Amino acid sequence: MWANRDETRIYDANAFKLGLFGMNCSGGLSLTKAPERWDASWDNNVKAAQLADEAGLEFLLPIGRWHGYRGETDTQGSTFETLTWACGLLALTREITTFGTLHVAFVNPVFAAKQMVTADHIGKGRFGLNIVSGWNPGEFGMMGVPLNEHDDRYAYSDEWLEIVKRIWSEDEPFDYDGRFYKLKDVLSKPKPFWGSRPVLVSAGNSPTGMRFAAASADCLFTTIPSLEALAAKIKGFRAAAPKGQLRNIFASCHLMVRPTRKEAEDYHHYIVHEQGDMEAAEYALALRGARLAPHLTGDFEKMKARLISGAGYPIITSYDEAVSTFQKMHEAGLDGLACGMINYIDDFQHVQELLPRMQRIGLRA
Ligand SMILES: Cc1cc2nc3c(=O)[nH]c(=O)nc-3n(C[C@H](O)[C@H](O)[C@H](O)COP(=O)(O)O)c2cc1C
């Protein structure tokens, strides 16, 4: 169907691309007890993936999670491992790019390189790798892997990725003598589909994360500090990388969109203030409070409400206003959003409302 990786959907001509984010995890991105919250069963994952594929969305991005957020709901306590998840979905979809999210510290690069090639062949060139250097001490504890100091984690990722890239491209056996890996006689076949390497994305936000992306990534996932600060942040990422290398800069969001803003806000109130899992929110706040939107730091009630509502930038408004927010993000230089929602199947009807509105203003073909 396509002649090379440049033609795959992740690089299509749409000015503002969309993907589903986090549906491999129970509860998705939100810490709510609402009964319609996401049941991350395999059948539900397939259904949501096929809806997204048929609607022309560009990608599926899973979350690499090994521990949940506790409380009554234990959001993300039940998760599918992302490489095997991607293999299954790549076999059952046609065009959508599907990522695996790998904690590089938890998996040997020779083994992972071959797993990813397998996924890429199953998907006929639609596999992408989201490289995670890691941050969560509990998850490293569970793996029995020391959580290195922040920049050392990126040094490890650099080495891991260098090995993987060589495995994907070199035809002769090689030895590798690095700081973390000493390898002998490395050779792996087959090579990725088309012989070109899978799309690499990175999701680090720190200056070191930025340098890592600038050195290695084709695309980037980032967070939106505020709409006002977005343009400068994206400019910084682009300036740090060789011109043209970062082909897509995406951010994460959670969507609660309805015909009117009032309906969206009422639903948000129900999800957060009537059905919020406070115990999970307390735990999440202790775990990742400092990494949360800095403008909320200090106001614990607001921070908890934000955590319950969902990870990523909140888009809680009418269809029309959501699309004008997309327009502003596009003007700031953003190429698209990875979207969480309360229920990826039931809420897809709302995404279907956004698509023609985006077409009308040229954000999508
Ligand atoms: C959109 C997005 C997706 C991410 N996905 C994951 C994930 O699935 N698992 C994880 O442990 N960390 C994830 N992260 C965290 C980052 O990969 C990274 O480890 C974290 O941002 C710390 O790096 P930094 O200090 O450079 O920002 C994600 C971050 C973003 C912005």
For 181-221, what is each residue's pLDDT tens digit?
A: 999 999 999 999 999 999 999 998 889 998 999 999 999 99
DSSP-assigned beta bridge partners for residue 260: none
pLDDT digits (tens, 9 = 90+) for 65-84: 999 999 999 999 999 999 99
Residue 139 contacts residue 103 (beta carbons within 8 Å):
yes
State the pTM of this model: 0.97
Alpha helices by DSSP H, the chain? 42-54, 82-92, 109-122, 137-143, 150-169, 207-216, 227-240, 261-269, 278-288, 300-309, 319-331, 348-360
How high is the mean pLDDT of the chain?
Answer: 96
Q: Please report how many Cα atoms fall inside a 13 Å half-sphere around the Cα of residue 248, on the Cβ side.
A: 28
Q: From 104, 205, 210, give the residue whose CB has the most ligand 1 atoms within 8 Å, as the site to mutate.
A: 205
Residue 205 is predicted with a pLDDT of: 85
pLDDT bucket at 295, cuts 50 / 70 / 90: low
- Residues in contact with ligand 1 (CB, 6 Å cut-off): 63-64, 101, 132-136, 203-206, 208-209, 221-223, 252, 338
User: Which residue's CA is the closest to the ligand 1 atom numbered 6?
Assistant: 63
Higher per-residue pLDDT: 112 or 135: 112
pLDDT digits (tens, 9 = 90+) for 2-28: 999 999 999 999 999 999 999 999 999
Ligand 1 mean position, distance from CA 18 (Å): 18
In one-letter notation, the amino acid at residue 263 is E
Q: From 76, 83, 132, give the residue whose CB has the most ligand 1 atoms within 8 Å, as the site to mutate.
A: 132
Ligand 1 mean position, distance from CA 63 (Å): 9
Residue 290 is predicted with a pLDDT of: 59
Q: How many CB atoms neighbour CB 210 within 10 A?
A: 20
Ligand 1 mean position, distance from CA 56 (Å): 26
Residue 288 is predicted with a pLDDT of: 77
Structure tokens at 67: 């521990």
Residue 155 is predicted with a pLDDT of: 96
Structure tokens at 168: 């994907």
What CA–CA distance (Å, rounded) separates 278 from 299?
15
Determine the atom of ligand 1 nearest the C-alpha atom of 252: 1
Q: Give the pairing type, strands 182-186 and 174-177.
A: antiparallel
Determine the atom of ligand 1 nearest the C-alpha atom of 210: 26
pLDDT bucket at 291, cuts 50 / 70 / 90: low
Mean pLDDT along residues 260-264:
98
Give the gyration radius of the chain's Cα atoms: 20
Phi-psi domain of 113 (left: phi exceeds 0; alpha: psi -120 through 50; beta: other): alpha
pLDDT bucket at 332, cuts 50 / 70 / 90: very high
Question: By percentage, how much of the chain surpasses pLDDT 70?
Answer: 98
Q: Measure CA 262 to chain center.
A: 29
Ligand 1 mean position, distance from CA 108 (Å): 20
Residue 181 is predicted with a pLDDT of: 98
Burial of 301 (0-12, 13-18, 19+ CB in 10 A): exposed
Ligand 1 mean position, distance from CA 205 (Å): 8
Mean pLDDT along residues 27-35:
98
Is a pLDDT exceeding 90 seen at residue 113? yes
Determine the atom of ligand 1 nearest the C-alpha atom of 135: 19
Ligand 1 mean position, distance from CA 228 (Å): 22
Mean pLDDT along residues 29-37:
98
